[in-house]
Structure 1
């Protein structure tokens, strides 16, 4: 490569996002379900926030954590999907270097935050089932605020090195990203320096956040199931386990798409790129869509308030 071309990409002012390469002809049809899912995610999560804020009877630890999850879902989906839709609809593929780093930071920090909130919700279920008499003294408003702040700081701090590392690499190949957002791996692959430190940090972050979160969630549910199996009657066991169904469904909605996306990226060398990107997009859309539906259907207090809201409006 010539020196002039190399110089052009040392500090790229913009990147070009290709969206989903290989499916350009179908991008209008692809955009329809993505737009519908994003609309459902926004309306569903705002509805959760509105109902919890309006109903003082829902001002408790479980619903505070649910509001944190709703805010995280909104930021996660809004960080990626609108740009994807603008590529599909308006061919708006350019993104500035600074905007690219900002998008990368928000996606990485809030994905870690979402996982941390699920750990907090698992702890909430553990205390409610294994220590019900101490629930109100352990999970006070102050404790919930401190847990939320800890999750925010952990995710925000661990995501900070990513944009700084990306900024320090020289870019001498191209500024074209075959993706619909500025993913960390997709961007550093464009660098022409030794990017092993970025790869190593990515693995460290994966194990220190997601790995530890899965471990703590597993431990919580091991203790919860132990307590449930020691309840005296079958009805009591089923009723108690029923209070965990929403949270278990929320965990599956987050981790299953992430698991398959990671698995395909590492071992699916013959998998078409467009299929990999579609799977990745589900990771950013499915949880924000499914979480309000899961909690709206499974949580009696929210379901009742939602029905009251609609019946009051139409009477």
Structure 2
């Protein structure tokens, strides 16, 4: 592999190196990664097909699931196939513009996962105020929430590629990662990247704090309502419908938070551990969403 001269300020290509220290295991690592991707694609496409064809499922819970399914399909498809080419075929080279495009999809669609908020709100209304569920979450309001999710991701995270495009990259063209990540490219810049880092950290911090606060408050209210239900069976059923959603939230925010903190603040975490976990929030939540579909069907009294 030949790298461009270090004096090249705007390289046309970069080289993804995969998981540092585990290069000899790339072929084997690609197998579970591919399996999770197949499960995610099949599961989320199935959700979209079932909800589209079954008129009785055109209710808030399933419409929000469809939104998340589309987000996860785009998010995983924008990263995993390229990752598998690296693992199985040694395809390390990636064009700079393709790298920027991948960064846009990763960060903007991750922000669109505010669908978690919508699902938490849906769960709160369904359990705490079931008689007004359909009047509070009308199709028009659901559509507005969907548009807000898209705008939130595009407006606040589309500057990421632009900020990277303006930075000179002359240190190296090697990205020690399995995909193009914003902070990984910032670290390759040979100029002051304080503005880019500051914008990224502030956006991520604001979004994470607001999202986790809203979700936490929603589930505290849900738990309070659940434990006031008259029978133990009703309480267990209500908790069962929330379980898969909570699992997806925990997996996503724990892995994403770990990646964010490690990249920004340089904790002494081995690179292979950091990058392996960074892949998990792109792979695991999409494959868990079908569980939320099953719990939603049970809540509606439909067999899955």
Q: TM-score, normalised by structure 1?
A: 0.89
Partners in 1 of 2:175 and 2:55 — Cα distance? 47
Partners in 2 of 1:240 and 1:302 — Cα distance? 11
Match of residue 184 from structure 2? 186
SS at structure 2 position matched to 1:224: helix
Change in CA separation of 1:141 and 1:107 when aligned onto 2, cut-off 3 Å:
same
> What are the equivalent positions in structure 2 for 1:129-148 lying under 5 Å apart?
129-148=127-146
SS at structure 2 position matched to 1:243: helix
Partners in 2 of 1:53 and 1:196 — Cα distance? 46
Match of residue 72 from structure 1? 71
Residues 113, 152 of structure 1: 8 Å contact kept: yes
Match of residue 25 from structure 1? 24
For residues 238-288 of structure 1, the C-alpha deviation after alignment (integer angstroms, 9 at most, x for no partner) is 333333223222212322222333454467744321121111111110111
Q: Structure 1 residue 151: deviation in Å?
A: 0.9
Structure 2: runs of 5 or more not aligned: none
Partners in 1 of 2:142 and 2:151 — Cα distance? 14
Partners in 2 of 1:285 and 1:303 — Cα distance? 30
Partners in 2 of 1:248 and 1:273 — Cα distance? 28
> What are the equivalent positions in structure 2 for 1:200-219 lying under 5 Å apart?
200-219=198-217
SS at structure 2 position matched to 1:46: helix
Q: Structure 1 residue 19: deviation in Å?
A: 1.3
SS at structure 2 position matched to 1:16: strand
Change in CA separation of 1:243 and 1:170 when aligned onto 2, cut-off 3 Å:
same
Structure 1: runs of 5 or more not aligned: 307-315
Match of residue 38 from structure 1? 37
- The answer on 1:166 being equivalent to 2:167 is no
Change in CA separation of 1:74 and 1:178 when aligned onto 2, cut-off 3 Å:
same
Change in CA separation of 1:123 and 1:90 when aligned onto 2, cut-off 3 Å:
same
